Chain A
């Protein structure tokens, strides 16, 4: 059973379009993180959200943590080819070190 479900699994869009990626669970998380991974590299942390309802912006990327802290979304405005990559959400539960639960990821391809 997958604790964090990400959708869509694949997303292929044209440069300039907007998109939203979802990360859903029936479990509550103390924090939720988004990572981006490019081919041949490890994931890179984009943002951490810890408060229910929190919204964080990183240039053209907007991250939201659900009010109940069970879900999150990533919205990209005016996507660019440089946004191409695998987007992973990861949720932290409890205080045990290393207990980050990862979703399967959304593979985003932005065509010029």
Chain B
């Protein structure tokens, strides 16, 4: 098992669909993150969870809804997305203590038609 696993790897959805991205970490970390990576833009932090509690919502539209049932699992529920939401969505985890060191999953490449 790799440290941080994301599924699915690729997702194509219409603007009226509802889908969910899943992330699981096997590193015993307490903090989990969602990042968005678009072409020609730096990595954008979306949400932070620490010990299952959301500690950061970086002004993300409500069509993105995160869920963190426990410290090992993180979901991103998607509904009524726009074509400009097409991007690579990366999950990461960290110990939540000391200097932040992020361990990333391979990402979900999302295309919204």
Contact = CB atoms under 8 A, between A and B. Distances in A.
Contacts of A88: 43
Chain A interface, >50% SS class:
loop
Interface residues of A, number: 27
For B41, B45, B100, B107, the residue with the greatest tally of chain A CB atoms inside 10 Å of its CB is: B100
Interface in A29-64: 30-31, 33, 35, 40-45, 48, 50
Contact of A97 (B4, B56, B104, B107): B56
Contacts of B61: none
Interface of B: 4, 6, 31, 33, 40-43, 45, 48, 50, 55-56, 90, 92, 96, 99-107, 109
Interface of A: 2, 4, 30-31, 33, 35, 40-45, 48, 50, 88, 90, 92, 96-105
